[in-house]
Chain A
Amino acid sequence: MANIYILLVFVSLVAAILIVFARFSLLFLKKTDEGEEGGKLLRERQKEIVENIMEGLVVHGVDGRILSVNRAAEQFLSAQYTDIKGKKIGEIDNPSQLLKAIFTPMEDKREFSFSFKDNLEQELFYQIIQVPLSQKRGEILKIIRDVSRAKYLDRMKNEYITMMSHKILTPLTNIKWAAGILSGDNLDEPKKQGSVKNITDNANKLIEFTSHLLNITEIEEGLFGYKFEKTDIAELAEEIIKNYQQEAFQRGIKILIDDPKKNFYLVKGDKNRLGVAMANYIDNAVKYSPDGGTIEVSFHQDKYTLWFAVKDGGVGISPESVGSLFTKFFRDKRAKAVHTEGTGAGLFIVKNIIEKHGGKVGYDPIKTGGSLFYFTLPVYKEEK
């Protein structure tokens, strides 16, 4: 009995050990499977990253033979991997400028910049970074980054600073020189009056300029406040136009306002802000109209939308500038040729005000010369 008892215990023990072992083996096997599975997944993921990354990646050997390129590199280099695989630069038919550039000897430099003009005469800028991959295999990774956009923004920033300083310096020169006259001897009354007026006018120019800049900052930071109320657009237009009648009269310009029916063209809007938008359109029309010209202000309305338009017979807009008209600080060359001093902020401010009201801004060229600027606004609806 004792033997049977010992045998039973022994068998149970062996069985338990086997079960435990089997259990661990399964765990181990599962782990291995997971490891392989995970490794595969990781490799796939890495491959996808390499293929979808914005930077161009090229791996070549020390002998210069191309071993691997990703999708971005194929685009940058204007070459398919299958056509350049295993080849040196000298063995590739018609290599692009950038492809030649990445094989420029870099010696100890880690990176360098390269630029060239494309077929459309547009200058493109690239940064090429060299990373040694494996010393054993002697492979080198070249990373190609398109920095054209960054360079463009940099240039815009510099042009912007130059433009801003010019716009500030010109009124300041006026003030400085006028003050010089006032402090001089033999000052007659007209000269004194002229100098004082010049100081005032130029100080006002600087104030207006600063206010435009602040408006832009407020717009961009979402701080431009609005107070929406029932607003009569025709009435508002008449008020705004009054401010321009004197200047227009002096230059023989007629401002015609087409049937400004009262209490008809109604919107829910901020009266002051909409006034700023209208004033910008009318100010431009007066500024760029020839002496003796005509400006037409008109309204139109259907069930949902109101249109406000200002038409002038002025210099018009260069066709290539139409798409950029409402962007910040943009000034068309024709406008610059008539008035050198403009902030380029006006139409950007108009666009922001109108869009805040749920409307749209637009421009139509006039075939006979001149411009038509318009904006739309949702028609006023009584709240129930």
Chain B
Amino acid sequence: MAKLIIIEDDPFLLSILAEKLKEAGFGIETAIDGEDGLDKIKAGNFDLVLLDMVLPKIDGFKILEELRGGKLKKIPVIILSNLYDKNNIDKAILLGAKEYIVKAYNTPEEIVLKIKSFLNKERKDILPNG
């Protein structure tokens, strides 16, 4: 079972995403700010990070920088954000994000599908059963 962490400061969006991903068979950890998120990434053994960009304490860009520089750079990161201008998307991709999903343009179900499809491409073995 793939283990995911969602770092998202909006409690409602976080709870829905967590619920939908759990229903899809993923192991889910959550963090409500960047500092907590970074600590949990370092402490846990995650297959994928779902990262919001505008976060309290440490923002998504700083987290990407931290991950890129350290031994955690192999953990794939998918951005889930409502910052959708080209500059910010380019910046995130340049810092190593694998995909950039705009929350407002997707339903939670569509996001789950995109995550499944991404993991399917990346590492078939960590997809949940079924």
Interface of A toward B, CB cutoff 8 Å: 158, 161-162, 165-166, 169-170, 172-174, 176-178, 180-181, 194, 198, 336-340
Contact = CB atoms under 8 A, between A and B. Distances in A.
A198 to B, nearest CB: 5
A158 B85 contact: yes
Q: Is the interface of B mostly helix, strand, loop or mixed?
A: loop
Nearest to B81: A166
A91 to B, nearest CB: 42
A170 B84 contact: no
A315 to B, nearest CB: 11
B129 interface: no
B53 to A, nearest CB: 9
B13 interface: yes
Interface string B78-91: 00001111011000
B9 A174 contact: no
B128 interface: no
Nearest to B34: A337
Given A180-B108, A338-B56, A339-B56, A169 B12 contact: no
Nearest to A184: B109
19 contacts: A162-B87, A165-B85, A166-B54, A169-B102, A169-B103, A170-B104, A173-B103, A174-B10, A176-B104, A176-B107, A177-B13, A177-B107, A180-B107, A180-B108, A198-B12, A337-B56, A337-B57, A337-B58, A339-B56
Contacts of B84: 165, 169
Interface string B111-130: 00000000000000000000
Contact of A162 (B13, B85, B102, B109): B85
A166 B16 contact: no
B107 A170 contact: no
Nearest to B35: A337
Interface in B34-66: 54-58
Contacts of A166: 54, 82-83
A178 B12 contact: yes
Interface of B: 9-10, 12-13, 16, 54-58, 82-85, 87-88, 102-104, 107-109
A181 B13 CA distance: 12
Contacts of B102: 169
* Nearest 4 CB-CB pairings of A with B: A169-B82, A169-B104, A173-B104, A162-B85
Contacts of B82: 165-166, 169-170, 173
Contacts of A176: 104, 107
Chain B CB within 10 Å, residue with most, of A173, A174, A336: A173
B56 A174 contact: no
Contacts of B58: 337
A173 B103 CA distance: 7
A172 B13 CA distance: 11
Contacts of A340: 9, 54-56
Nearest to A177: B16
Chain B CB within 10 Å, residue with most, of A170, A174, A338: A170
Given A169-B104, A337-B57, A174 B83 contact: no
A339 to B, nearest CB: 7
Contacts of B103: 169-170, 173
Given A169-B82, A170-B82, A177 B54 contact: no
A46 B108 CA distance: 68
Contacts of B104: 169-170, 172-173, 176
Given A180-B107, A340-B54, A173 B83 contact: no
Nearest to A180: B107
Contacts of A198: 12
B12 A177 contact: yes
A297 B104 CA distance: 40
A143 to B, nearest CB: 31
Chain A CB within 10 Å, residue with most, of B9, B54, B84: B54
A336 B56 CA distance: 7
A14 B82 CA distance: 98
B88 A174 contact: no
Nearest to B55: A340
Contacts of B10: 170, 173-174
A340 B83 CA distance: 12
A357 B10 CA distance: 39
A176 B82 CA distance: 13
A277 B3 CA distance: 48
A337 B9 CA distance: 11
